[in-house]
Amino acid sequence: MRPETSIINDISKLLVSSNEFKNTQPIGSNQVVFNTYALPGVYDYGHELSHTTPSVVIFTVTATAKNQENLVADIAVLISQSATMSPAYTRSSYIADRLAGTKAFNLYIYAVPLPTTQSNMKKWSVTVSSEAFGPGGYAGSFYAKNQIIANDDIDIVVESVFP
């Protein structure tokens, strides 16, 4: 191959690469950026759990994209017995409490199916319950802080469902 042809091929490849960087890339490229979003304030939701009756609290968290038609998002929920959210309670805390034999509470997060016409939204149902029904379970206040990881700026709404 002649040196001139090699230079022309190299320049052509550089132009193609340059155009790919300037234009929108398909999913899986470095153009997809995720950020973490949360409502202002120390916690988003608080309620009491009782140990005398089966105690369950359910609330929903809805994220709505501000710019894109398709929202890709997931949620992380921290709960705490303190309104300062310190210390935060996670699944590893639950396992440690169970191993130590102390009273714990459960945290369950379920994705709520939405119609395909609402692809710019994600919704989760969050359930917090006393670890056991009767006097063995946790009793007292709990507070929740929701963090959403999403590919777009979002609006967040937290609503009580039960009780």
Residues 38, 16 share a domain? no
Residues 74, 88 share a domain? yes
pLDDT in tens, 100-158: 766 667 788 999 999 989 999 999 999 888 765 445 566 678 889 999 999 889 999 99
Residues 119, 79 share a domain? yes
Residues 38, 67 share a domain? yes
Sign of dihedral through CA atoms 63, 68, 69, 72? Answer: negative
Instruction: Give pLDDT, residue 68.
Output: 86
Which tokens sit at 137?
């379970």
pLDDT in tens, 70-102: 899 999 988 888 888 887 776 677 677 767 766
Residues 153, 134 share a domain? yes
Phi, psi torsion values for 64, nearest 5 degrees: -125, 125
* pTM to 2 decimal places: 0.72
Instruction: Give pLDDT, residue 125.
Output: 96
Residues 103, 78 share a domain? yes
Which tokens sit at 50?
């009782």
Instruction: Give pLDDT, residue 163.
Output: 79
In angstroms, rounded to a whole number, what is the distance separating the alpha carbons of residues 34 and 149? Answer: 6
Q: Show the domain range for 84.
A: 33-162
Residues 26, 9 share a domain? yes
Task: Count up the domains in the chain and report the number.
Answer: 2
**CA angle at residue 88 from 46 to 139, to 5 degrees?**
50
Residues 50, 19 share a domain? no
Residues 149, 132 share a domain? yes
Residues 94, 18 share a domain? no
Instruction: Give pLDDT, residue 7.
Output: 76
Residues 48, 13 share a domain? no
Instruction: Give pLDDT, residue 15.
Output: 73
